Amino acid sequence: MSSRILTTSPDEVTVQNGAKYCLVIDFEDRSRTGKIWNEHGEVEWSYGPLRNPLQYSSRNPFNKPDFVVFDANGNPTVTIRRVSFVPSRFHILDRENVIGQIAMRSVLLNKYKIEIAGIATCAFRMPLFTRYFHGHFNDGTGIWAVVGPGTMQWRVLLRSELNDVRLLSSLAFIHNQWFRFG
């Protein structure tokens, strides 16, 4: 992916037909839990940490827990697990099958590369000193995110063909990383 990418605002069709979500980190819980709300104000998924079943390794020296997204019935849907400490890389798992990866692309913790099977590769950028974030694909911008009203909430717009729980799980994970460590 090029380092120089032109960010475009969503067109009217995308605003009208795109998937709209709100990613909210729970305020009262200090253990990285949260919810993904749809545009109708309903909780579609929730997320939180789950103890990593693997023992200590050089890939995860601090034994950080997995990041797991649960459906409305509380069943695990997507798991994100650290596979490399430096550089930071995470596998996206559907049950125990690797279906993609997230890689940190900047020491400033503001650029990620998201690769998911069946979805084009995305360069997700969080420019410094702004609350507007975006994800670029080969055919242009496909993800728009706005921080607010507080840092624990992101409002996300996806092009309709990108409406996928695996991509939303990746964005919730990045939001959580950004909030906790950024």
Does 5 reside within a domain? Answer: no
For residue 138, the model assigns a pLDDT of 85
Q: Is residue 110 part of a domain?
A: yes
Give the pLDDT score at 106: 86
CATH number of residue 135's parent domain: 2.40.160.200
Q: Structurally, how many domains does the chain consist of?
A: 1
Residue 2 has pLDDT above 50, yes or no: no
In this prediction, residue 40 carries a pLDDT of: 94
pLDDT greater than 80 at residue 41: yes
Tell whether 145 is covered by a domain: yes
Instruction: Calculate the average pLDDT of the chain.
Output: 87
Give me the mean pLDDT over the 99-104 stretch: 95
Assess if residue 2 is contained within a domain.
no
- Whose tokens are 């798992």? That residue is 93
Out of 7-11, 91-95, 120-124, 151-155, least confident range: 7-11
Q: Which domain does 126 fall in, by range?
A: 12-181
**Chain segment 43-73, per-residue pLDDT in tens:** 999 999 987 666 656 666 666 788 999 999 9
Long-range contacts of range 44-49, CB-CB < 8 Å, 24 or more positions apart?
Answer: 44/72, 45/69, 45/70, 45/71, 45/72, 45/77, 45/165, 45/168, 45/169, 45/172, 46/70, 47/169, 47/172, 47/173, 47/176
